[in-house]
Structure 1
């Protein structure tokens, strides 16, 4: 057994480049695991700077300096974010408030519907089952209310921290864009010279990550806006709120669409009942999801790495459990990174064996 492990270790890690890649991977993973919650603003700033580096590079091709290009891009990006917050957030907040106010009437309609089930379907439902269902629903509502209240109190405590982030993150993004070469050169000083595999993994992942992030942002905007317009035409309540939920549901492959189906169906059911309008909403929602999965995703992610659905779901669960929203958002690129690391080590061992 010891000889088998020794042979495996010699085959995989006899190359100094493989050792460098392994140590860098372990170091970054340990830093994110132990200090991830403390450096969230830095990670968010790094992600934003990575996305904005492309327009900065394009502006520099017209002869502008990096400082000027970074300033222009930051001003445009900040203006876009402020416009979205000012234009959309009040509408979402108003619809969320209306939804909370309508919850008691929805629950009353649901109670009346449940009480009518034993009369309409006596062979399938009895009054005792309805009582059990109603008691369970009431218990869940109380639990949800307590959770929302505690979350609101915690949010008040974190308000100062969020205000600090709103100041620090834009500053970090600007300096990361402006001083990119200096920061990269400083980071490279800590990496050994044997970095062939690191460069190989970075070249493999760089374009894929950029394509994924850009494609996912476009997918959120297209799916969310299309859903909002469709629900508005169908006169469904909370169209903006539901459109936002449907748009962000694409962040969770396979599971997100199924989860968002529940609030969409419930709102349509309580508003229209089981009638033609209800089925129009459900059919329209199903068409949007079908077009997203079979048309939009292949177009936007044509250059993305093809991963098995099992690997994607495991990656969403694992990285989402570690880092929440950002873990879910980057689950597929992180899974692709893991595969690229494994491929790099395998290639290194094959080249070592061939040279021997």
Structure 2
């Protein structure tokens, strides 16, 4: 057993770069787990700067100087934040309050519908079972309401921190866009000059993460915008709230679409019942999901790494459990990073060993 472990160490950690990569990975995970909440503004700024870097590069390609390109990109970002705070957030908040106020009425109607089941299907459902289900739902809803109330009271400091982030994060984004290349060069100077594994991983991940993150943001905006407009045209209540939920659901492959279908169907049912309007809204929602999966995703992620659905779901569960929203958002890039490391690490080691063995053989023959 000891011999096997020693052989494994010699195979994957004989090179000093392999040890350095392992140390950097472990240190990064420890920093994110222990200091993630402290570094949240910095991490958010890096992510936003990474998203906006494509616009800066596009403006540079048109012959616009770098500083002016950064300034124009920063103005687009600040205007987007301002418009969201002035128009989108208040409307979203009003619809959320209205939904919470309508929840008791919807629960009463749902209770009445459940009580009709024993009359229509006495062989399948009894009245006692329905009453037990209603009592359980009441307990769950009471606990849910208490959780919302306690959350709103305990998260007041978070609101203050959010106001600070609104000022701090844009400033950090500006400097990351302006001096990002110098920062990367400074960090690279601290690493060994000979780093084939790091270079291979970086080249692959820089392309994959850029394509995925920017494409995912574009997908969220398009799907959320089209869903909100479609729901509004069909006079569905809480159209903006549901539209944004549909847009954010694309963050979780396979699972997100299934999860957001329930609130869309429930609100549509309590608004119209089993009518043509209800079937129209569900048909429109199905068309949006079909176009997203069969048209938009292939266009935006044509260069994405192909991963098995089981690996994607596993990545969402693991990284989402570790880092919440950002873990879900970056689940696929992080899984791609793990895949790139596993592919690059042994290949780099095996590519170098034949050359070393050949040189050693030639020296022995010459001697």
Report Cα offsets for 1:234-284 as digits up to 9, x if no partner. Answer: 322111111110110000111111111111111011111123322222232
Alignment of 1:238-317 (within 5 A): 238-317=238-317
Q: Distance in 2 between matches of 1:220 and 1:58?
A: 22
CA distance in 2, matches of 1:279, 1:64: 51
Partner of 2:55: 55
In 1: Cα distance, 2:160 partner to 2:170 partner: 16
Please give the alpha-carbon distance, in whole angstroms, between the structure 1 residues aligned to 2:7 and 2:307: 30
Match of 2:323 in 1: 323
The equivalent residue for 2:350 is 350
After TM superposition, give the deviation of residue 123 of structure 1 in Å: 2.0
- Structure 2, gaps ≥5 residues long: 358-367
| Correspondences of 1:86-235 after superposition (within 5 Å) | 86-235=86-235
Which is further off, 121-130 or 307-316?
Answer: 121-130
Q: Alignment partner of 2:37: what SS?
A: coil
Distance across 2 between alignment mates of 1:38 and 1:335: 24
Alignment-derived partner of residue 25 in structure 1:
25
- In structure 1, the residue matched to 2:361 is none
User: RCO higher in 1 or 2 (8 Å CA, sep ≥ 6)?
Assistant: 1
TM-score w.r.t. the length of structure 2 is 0.92
Contact 1:249/1:257, CA 8 A, preserved across alignment: yes
Q: CA deviation at 1:62?
A: 4.9
1:10 paired with 2:10, answer: yes
Contact 1:95/1:238 (CA < 8 Å) preserved in 2? Answer: yes
In 2, Cα distance between equivalents of 1:228 and 1:53: 28
For residue 179 of structure 1, give the secondary structure of its aligned residue in structure 2: helix
Q: How many residues align?
A: 356
Structure 1 stretch 242-251 or stretch 71-80: which is displaced more?
71-80
d(CA) in 2 for partners of 1:253, 1:80: 27
Moved more, 334-343 or 89-98: 89-98
SS of the residue 1:183 aligns to = helix
After TM superposition, give the deviation of residue 65 of structure 1 in Å: 4.2
Check the 8 A contact 1:20/1:195 in 2, yes or no. no
Q: 1: distance between equivalents of 2:4 and 2:190?
A: 33
Rounded to whole Å, the distance in 1 between the matches of 2:42 and 2:256 is 28
Coordinate RMSD, CA, aligned = 1.7
> What is the Cα deviation at residue 63 of structure 1?
5.0
Greater shift, 338-347 or 57-66, is seen at: 57-66
